[in-house]
Amino acid sequence: MSDIVNEFNEYRQRMNDKILADNNKVIKRIFNLDTNAFAEGALDVKTKELLGLVASMVLRCDDCVKYHLETCYKEGIPKEQVVESLSIANLIGGTIVIPHLRRAYEFWEALEAQNK
């Protein structure tokens, strides 16, 4: 099951490299802004990642959900906190978010399996 993690990361890296190779100033600035927004600040990185996860779920962006799930996992955020954040996303986003919740659970399980 952990293949979905590797496939996602390889695809993301390959496409980001192609996008950034075009040297578009606006796109590079957007990528930089995204990186800096999630850096330590008045809010710690873990809180920002959970906020990013909730926003991504509500916006129904599976790639973003996967990215934030993996970062949450790497930051050592316990599954219970991730699941509670996902529950808030489902409350705010409504039942249309449930398919994304299924994929989020699948991806989290793949992260756990990959690191056993």
Closest CA to 68 of 56, 76, 81, 85: 56
Helices (H), 38-78: 45-59, 62-74
Per-residue pLDDT of the chain (116 residues; tens, 9 = 90+): 459 999 999 999 999 999 999 999 999 999 999 999 999 999 999 999 999 999 999 999 999 999 999 999 999 999 999 999 999 999 999 999 999 999 999 999 999 999 88
Q: Does residue 107 contact residue 4 with C-beta atoms inside 8 Å?
A: yes
Give me the phi and psi of 61, to 5 degrees please. -105, 95
